Structure 1
Amino acid sequence: MQILKVGNMCAKTGEKVSGYVQVKGTDIELAVTIICGEKEGKTVFISGGVHNAEYVGIETAIEIANEILPSQLTGNLIILHLMNRTGFEHRTMSMVYEDGKNLNREFPGNAQGTTADRICHTVVTEFQKNADYYIDLHCGDGYEELTPYVYCVGVAVPEVVKAAKGMAEVINVPYLVQSPCGSGGSYNYAGSCGIPSILIERGCMGRWSKEEVELGKKDVRNVLRYLKVLQGEVSKRTYHPVDVGNVICKNAEHTGCWYPTKKAGANFRKGEILGYIKDYFGNVLETCTAEMDGILLYQVASLCIIKGDSMVAYGENPNHKEGAKGTDG
């Protein structure tokens, strides 16, 4: 009989167990479901709420945890419903409430660090250590607009990169981005440790809908079926994600008011203006100009924009190859 242990929780073959895992060195308890299949196989780690206002991913994790049964699995699921719980309960958007850090910039964390560092360390040492594969569920934060797309790890050994891309290719979104980062983000770090990992972006602006959650659940089930962990065949989908190649992420050089000129998902040509930052009198402080032909993946959609924070991210247009290197969002 198999026994799968995460923190103080454990599940045996054929069991589903839900409860809380404590973040080491804190009083924070994270909601977790372990589903141990009736047949042995690979273990998939699924997380929601790395960014706590990304509600589509959180609700998708909650519903997937409730709906999948041990009898349907050849293998196991470890589902972390909400990684940044205190941020969620204080509505801090991307940041951990106690220290103002962005979890997806702090992996692998530190057992002796601040709260965010300790959350990351706990995820690595209690969750990722059990995983053969990883699905990280995101969406646009409370101030972000995006078009649905999927990241897969790119900084890892070739077999891990190949396996992650295979997972990403069954997601029902238009675009795929292979990340050039090997640390900072949860899925990035997992990939660098040998775990094929993807990050799904669906939904935005601090909202969620049943329709988006249903699409998110179909994405997760398709990956699990592709991995032969969940019974059934990969279902039909509208999109087969296109690799957008290089990605440019532009951060704001000024604090002020942001006036985008495009919508997420828009195509544009090199040299087109993507938006302006103006001061509180309407004077232009900064103009954001496209450095290549591209697809707008996400952008700030609030009037407020903050120096040093994200402004836009766009990928290379697959139909107009003009090289330009960038970093993961």
Structure 2
Amino acid sequence: MKYITILILFISAQFSFGQRSFTFEGTEIPAGTKAHFKIPVEDSGESTFIPITIFNGATTGETLGITAGVHGYEYPPILGAQRLIKSIDPKNLKGTVILVQVANLNSFLNRKSFMKPEDDKNLNRVFPGKKDGNLSEQIAYYISNSIINRVDYFLDMHAGDAAEDLMSYGAYYRNANMPEISATGKRMALALGFDHIVTFNTDGKDYMKAEKPSLYTSAEAFKRGIPSIDIECGRLGIADMQAAEQVEQAVLALLQELDFTSNSKEAAQNPANIITERTYAESSASGIFYPLKKAGDYVVKGMEVGYITDFFGNIKETVYAEANGLLLLILGTPPVNKGETLTVIGQFEQ
């Protein structure tokens, strides 16, 4: 009887600690391995695909979903995701990581900011998407219903595109009615290792209402009750390999924090500054923008941060800081259209 009991305990341990194969798109991915997928998307004669990597760990655990390249001109997260193909070792992984390498592939290949060339849509404004919609809506629908709905945690990775001088930071979603999920998101964001963490406060936001679309990739996950964070790392559409490495290391630190990988080294305590509010300023005129500040500068309300001229050098608008705080973003290229965002200023936690 003693030997039977030992055998039962051994079998139980195998089922408790061994990772079963993970099924994705009808394919079984064995424990301790990774697999690559190309998910086709077609609409009205136009086509694209979504490149996805699944890392199925050697032992049972939770699932983390990651998207890169929702905006195809934001290169460091895309390059960081490419680095993760080698740096995430499924043999040393607990649980499963679903990594969308480039969500907005045609935007990436056509070097086009924000929009997909075929349907002129901003992918990060159409979630949760439509099953039979245009390409962007179909991509959003697939990510919402084949990836987000399978994960326990979610990360969306961005950077400053071709026109955006943006400082790097982590961010998390919070809502007063979701305290535990919000707290987990904050812990995840702090683990990324950035000096600044932005709080996406969703209290009272229209996109949190059940009958309204979530619009944003990570907002869709948060709305479904999943702790959700963002990375913003990189600027001006530059393929900055240092920023790509920072993205890679941030994800690896997140995996360690969430117990997907072993704590091989003591995690550094991140004395991050928490930004709780953001103030946006838009252009009232079209023309040529001359920034007088850069992302990461501290500004005070009323300080001149730039000006706009017409095409003959006449000043049409002087741009002033509309709040005290940290310049998270400033338009970094000369062309400007009326209504475009010129600056985003972050205010710190009191």
Q: Fold conserved (TM > 0.5)? A: yes
After TM superposition, give the deviation of residue 286 of structure 1 in Å.
Answer: 2.7
Give structure 1 stretches of 5+ with no counterpart. 322-329
Structure 1 101/274 Cα, relative in aligned 2: closer, same or farther at 3 Å?
same
C-alpha distance in 1, partners of 2:29/2:48?
22
Match of 1:22 among 40, 45, 48: 40
C-alpha distance in 1, partners of 2:24/2:117?
24
**SS at 2:259's partner residue?**
coil
Mark the structure with the bigger radius of gyration. 2
- Count of aligned positions: 319
**SS at 2:201's partner residue?**
coil
Normalization by structure 2: what TM-score? 0.85
User: Among the aligned pairs, what percent are the same residue?
Assistant: 29
Match of 1:141 among 158, 161, 172: 161
C-alpha distance in 2, partners of 1:114/1:102?
12
Match of 2:325 among 291, 294, 298: 294
Whether the 8 Å CA contact 2:233–2:247 is kept in 1: the answer is yes
Partner of 1:312: 343
**SS at 1:34's partner residue?**
strand
After TM superposition, give the deviation of residue 166 of structure 1 in Å.
Answer: 0.5
After TM superposition, give the deviation of residue 136 of structure 1 in Å.
Answer: 1.4
Structure with higher helix content: 2
Match of 1:283 among 310, 314, 330: 314
After TM superposition, give the deviation of residue 10 of structure 1 in Å.
Answer: 4.3
Match of 1:221 among 228, 247, 252: 252
C-alpha distance in 2, partners of 1:185/1:78?
18
Whether the 8 Å CA contact 1:258–1:275 is kept in 2: the answer is yes
Whether the 8 Å CA contact 1:175–1:242 is kept in 2: the answer is yes
Partner of 1:34: 54
Which runs of structure 2 are paired with 1:236-247 in the superposition (5 Å)?
239-247=270-278
Whether the 8 Å CA contact 2:273–2:348 is kept in 1: the answer is no
Normalization by structure 1: what TM-score? 0.91
Give structure 2 stretches of 5+ with no counterpart. 1-18, 203-207, 209-213
Whether the 8 Å CA contact 2:79–2:241 is kept in 1: the answer is no
Letter in 1 for 2:137: D
**SS at 2:133's partner residue?**
coil
Whether the 8 Å CA contact 1:269–1:293 is kept in 2: the answer is yes
Structure 1 38/24 Cα, relative in aligned 2: closer, same or farther at 3 Å?
farther
Deviation digits for residues 258-314 of structure 1 (CA, Å, limit 9, x no counterpart): 111211100011111222222112223333322221100011100011223322111
**SS at 1:79's partner residue?**
strand
C-alpha distance in 1, partners of 2:42/2:21?
22
Deviation digits for residues 197-245 of structure 1 (CA, Å, limit 9, x no counterpart): 1111111112123322222111101111000012225665595321112
C-alpha distance in 2, partners of 1:151/1:50?
16
Counterpart check, 1:124 vs 2:155: no
Whether the 8 Å CA contact 1:277–1:286 is kept in 2: the answer is yes
**SS at 1:61's partner residue?**
helix
After TM superposition, give the deviation of residue 39 of structure 1 in Å.
Answer: 0.4
After TM superposition, give the deviation of residue 89 of structure 1 in Å.
Answer: 0.9
Whether the 8 Å CA contact 2:307–2:317 is kept in 1: the answer is yes
Partner of 1:210: 241
After TM superposition, give the deviation of residue 137 of structure 1 in Å.
Answer: 1.4
Structure 1 114/222 Cα, relative in aligned 2: closer, same or farther at 3 Å?
same
